[in-house]
């Protein structure tokens, strides 16, 4: 039976789940690369429209690996802007949280910042903290 080019085999999904399990077990893997190697198209060009947002995401997937973290101002320096709030806006629209490591972006003063649109105490923000703990950051 013919499968559409943009559909994904169940087997592939299982592999993705294994990757995520591996990630949560504490092993250092690059989810973005590993998942893309399974043949799933995660190209940033398709997920983000503006050049501004592409630069931010590219910086993240290329420079912030497992166990590392960055700050909103670091990203600002990297792409030559002081619009730190705009960077947060891009994160909020991240279609692939976890895979694109927006949880590794924290505030310069050491506090967490937000996650998945939430700034107050919430399960989303708590999740961010726990992800960082798993990676040995916080």
Partner DNA sequence: TGCATAATAACGA
Partner DNA sequence: TCGTTATTATGCA
129-to-20, 24, 68, 103, 124 alpha-carbon distances in Å: 17, 13, 14, 8, 9
Residue 103 carries which DSSP code?
G
Judge residue 73's burial from the number of C-beta atoms within 10 Å of its C-beta, 0-12 exposed, 13-18 middle, 19 or more buried.
middle
Nearer to DNA, 50 or 63 (CB): 50
Query: What is the Cα–Cα distance from 47 to 122, expressed in whole angstroms?
Result: 27
Instruction: Compare residues 40 and 112 and give the one whose CB is closer to DNA.
Output: 112
Give residues in contact with DNA (CB under 7 A): 49-50, 52-53, 71-73, 76, 81-94, 97, 102-103, 105, 107-109, 113-117, 119
| Alpha carbon of residue 120 to chain centroid | 20
- Is 88 known to be catalytic? no
- Please say which residue, 12 or 92, places its beta carbon nearer to DNA: 92
In the set 102, 105, 106, 131, the catalytic residue is 102
Tell the smallest beta-carbon distance from residue 29 to DNA (Å).
20
Q: What is the closest distance, in whole angstroms, from the C-beta atom of residue 79 to DNA in the complex?
A: 9
In the complex with DNA, the residue whose CB is nearer, 27 or 93, is: 93
Instruction: Give least dist CB 55 to DNA, A.
Output: 9
**Could you say which DSSP state residue 115 is in?**
B
Shortest approach of DNA to residue 85 CB, angstroms? Answer: 4
Which residues face 70 on adjacent strands?
105
The rounded distance, in Å, linking the Cα atoms of 94 and 5 is: 24
State the catalytic residues.
102
């Amino acid at each position: 039976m013919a499968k559409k080019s943009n559909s994904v085999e169940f087997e592939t999904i299982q592999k993705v789940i294994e990757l995520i399990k591996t990630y949560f077990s504490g092993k250092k893997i690059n989810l973005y690369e590993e998942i893309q190697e399974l043949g799933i198209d995660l190209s940033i060009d398709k997920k983000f429209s503006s050049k501004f947002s592409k630069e931010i995401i590219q910086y993240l997937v290329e420079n912030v690996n497992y166990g590392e973290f960055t700050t909103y101002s670091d990203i600002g320096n990297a792409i030559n802007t002081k619009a730190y709030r705009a960077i947060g806006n891009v994160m909020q629209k991240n279609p692939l949280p976890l895979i694109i490591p927006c949880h590794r972006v924290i505030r310069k003063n050491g506090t967490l910042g937000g996650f998945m649109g939430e700034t107050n105490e919430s399960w989303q923000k708590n999740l961010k903290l726990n992800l960082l703990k798993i990676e040995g950051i916080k």
